Structure 1
Amino acid sequence: MTALWSTVFFFIGVAIGAYYMKRRTSDHRSHELEALLTDLQSRHENYQNDVRSHFEHSAQLVNEMTQRYREIHEHLRTGAQVLCNDPKRAREDNPANQFVGLSGPAPEPQEPNPYAGIESGDFSYYEPPRDYATKDPLDKGMLDERYGFK
């Protein structure tokens, strides 16, 4: 009878130990995951702050460069007006008149659009290239499945 009770208590102890270990392992794992999540969140916030500060600094540098460009342009324009202003020259020959003011953007040159005269969807005027067409009715064209095979 003692062996029976010893065996019963042994299995009860094993079951309690297994339950405790399983619970402890899941708690330990959840703490590891929480620590990992916290670390990832802090790294992500640091990354976002780095990106924000990078673009703020880049915008500041671009603004400074733009201001310097304007100052250089204004210096060149006033220098050209002062140094090259010659009443004997014609207006279009005078280099002082070559600088455009910075008050507004200069219009960009546009290339002519070959499709401007065609209403949308109507491409009947244009034909595909005919370099694949057969020259002789008995010849095989380039689009033929057996083209190039002898």
Structure 2
Amino acid sequence: MYELGTLISFAAGSLIAGLILGYFVLTKLKPEQQSRAALEKQINEMHKQQLDYQTQVSGHFDRTAELLNDLAESYRNVHNHIAKGAQDLHGTGISPLQPLPEGRPVLESKPGKTQHSQQPLDYAPRQPGSPGALHEEFGLEKNHKPKEEAEPPAPPVM
């Protein structure tokens, strides 16, 4: 039938083709590869969700800032209207309400003279040349001389 050499070469070729085909099938169907791909997909979805959330938060705070600015402007308009009405309708023409300035307040960009504050002390500071608060003579007068002899107490008057 077939020569032995042809049969061996056909068997070796089939074996090599089977090994290659088996390797590709196992790598595609391997559970580790499938779970890894699923994890990568899940991580990418979570990253996209995080970016969407950050965009929503940023948009929310932008809109909140716009609404607060509108509210402040409306408050200023109402206040100025009341101040003008009080000035026009007040008997003396002088109103205690002053109109608010237009526009947003501007903060000074130049730092002024800043006084360095100090933490409050939890003890009485010692004055130079005087005893400290823990000294035994603290608070006693210096001119006070103890009497040599004690006088007897005066009898009560009846």
* TM-score relative to the length of structure 2: 0.47
> Which structure has the larger Rg?
2
